[in-house]
A = this chain, B = another copy of it.
Amino acid sequence: MSTIRDVAKLAGVSTATVSRVINSPKTVREQTRGKVTLAMKTCNYKYNALARGFVTKKSNTIGLIIPTINNPVFAESTRGVQDYANHQKIQVILGNTYYQYDLEESLVETLREKQVDGLIITTTNPRGAILKNLLDEGFPFVLLYSTVKKGPVSAVGIDNYQGGYRATEHLVKLGHDRIGMVAGNFSRSDRSFHRWHGYRQCLKNHGIPYDKDLLAQTDYSLTGGRDSVKKLLSLQNPVTAVFCSNDYLALGAMKGARELGLNLPTDLSIVGFDDIQIASYVIPELTTIHQPAYEMGKLGAQLLFQRIGNQSKPEQLMLESSLIVRESTTKAPG
């Protein structure tokens, strides 16, 4: 593999000049540039970005840490950061935590060793030591799908409380009063927790007593959604509606309800969260809270680059979410 030095020798110039035609071509005379370019061709020179990163202390690489790429909502935001990053000639290393704190921790460490210029994290715990360390050491990062609204960390997210509230309110207005919630484990996602708060407060505001048996916490999977809804449906006084803390769970819930022989939405109203693409492609089409995932990824990347570049102040971007009413919810029976 030929280096800048081989090229320099072949072109009869110094390595500095070769470096210049690579990094700031206009600063070298056209004729010289021609010689160099030719020399690069003839010795099949391949630029070594690793070596560059080593000296400039910028790897032009960022790390993206998400729960799991299997959930389409994360695929979408991932695409957002990728598109934005690649556009600036930055590459992204992807890692899944599977909602596990220790995996998140080791990922952060490995990526930092790899000298990523910054990190975009959908964290399992906004108050954990991982983020605190990052902050203390002044390492650039931004939180995605964040619930934090202020403080010293950059973040982009939506108002999960509000989302949960709106989802529940929609159900209440439809006349439901046995409204369950299928939630991803609070200990592994505070988004889910905030959504539950919204759910609970909405119930309260409408004079519906909170029944803790109507909350099913589960892991973030299709099967989790399916099994949980079955639990809520086999109570002595079963639910007539459920709010699922994400669409993925909601899809599972649909299946669970069907397996119990229910008709959707007449026997059970379901509202999800995220508005993943297929939400409008299932039957019945899923009523859900829309979250601008692609945009979020893009903005997250943008925010990160700002922080990496100049020392812009940390800021929290709260994007708009909205209720999308489709077919999976209907009036309460009776």
Segment at the B interface, from A9-17, A187-195, A275-283: A275-283
Q: Are A82 and B96 in contact (CB under 8 A)?
A: yes
The answer to whether A283 touches B281, judged by C-beta atoms less than 8 angstroms apart, is no
**Separation of A50 and B49 alpha carbons in the complex (Å):** 11
Residue A95 at the B interface, CB < 8 A?
yes
Measured between alpha carbons, how far is A220 from B113 in the docked complex, in Å? 38
Residues of A68-96 at the interface with B, using a CB-CB cut-off of 8 Å, are 68-70, 72, 75-76, 78-79, 82-83, 86, 89, 91-96
How near does chain B come to A25, taking the closest CB pair, in angstroms? Answer: 17
Given contacts A69-B69, A277-B222, contact A113 B49 (CB under 8 A): yes
Q: Is A149 part of the binding interface, using a Cβ–Cβ cutoff of 8 Å? A: no
Contacts of A49 in B (CB 8 A): 113-115
Give the segment of A157-165, A202-210, A251-259 that binds chain B: A251-259
**Stretch among A53-61, A172-180, A236-244, A308-316 lining the B interface:** A53-61
Q: Is the interface of A mostly helix, strand, loop or mixed?
A: helix
- Cα A82 to Cα B115 in complex, Å, equals 19
A102 to chain B, nearest CB (A): 13
- Residues from 196 to 237 in A contacting B, C-beta threshold 8 Å: 222
* CB <8 Å contact, A94 and B82: yes
CA–CA, A161 to B328, complex, Å? 38
- Bound complex: CA A218 to CA B319 (Å): 34
Whether A76 and B70, one on each chain, are in contact in the complex, defined by CB atoms closer than 8 angstroms, is: yes
Set B48, B94, B251: member contacting A94, Cβ < 8 A? B94
Minimum C-beta distance from A138 to chain B (A):
11
Partner of A282, one of B53, B70, B115, B282: B282
- Measured between beta carbons, the chain B residues less than 8 angstroms from A251 are 278, 281
Cβ-defined contact, B281 with A113, below 8 A: no
A51 to B222, CA, bound (A): 43
Contact with A48, one of B75, B76, B113, B252 (Cβ below 8 angstroms): B113
Measured in the bound complex, the distance between the Cα atoms of B110 and A64 in whole Å is 18
State whether the Cβ of A46 lies closer than 8 Å to any Cβ in chain B: yes
What residues of B have a CB within 8 angstroms of the CB of A332 in the complex? none
Interface string of A269-306 (1 = CB under 8 A from B): 00000000110111100000000000000000000000
A112 within 8 Å of B (CB atoms)? yes
Given contacts A72-B72, A281-B255, A282-B283, contact A91 B79 (CB under 8 A): no
A18 to chain B, nearest CB (A): 15
CB-CB < 8 A to A79: which residues of B? 68-70, 96
9 contacts between A and B (CB under 8 A): A47-B113, A50-B115, A69-B79, A82-B96, A91-B95, A91-B111, A92-B93, A94-B94, A222-B277
Residues of A within 8 A of B (CB): 46-51, 53-54, 59-61, 68-70, 72, 75-76, 78-79, 82-83, 86, 89, 91-96, 110-115, 222, 251-252, 254-255, 258, 277-278, 280-283
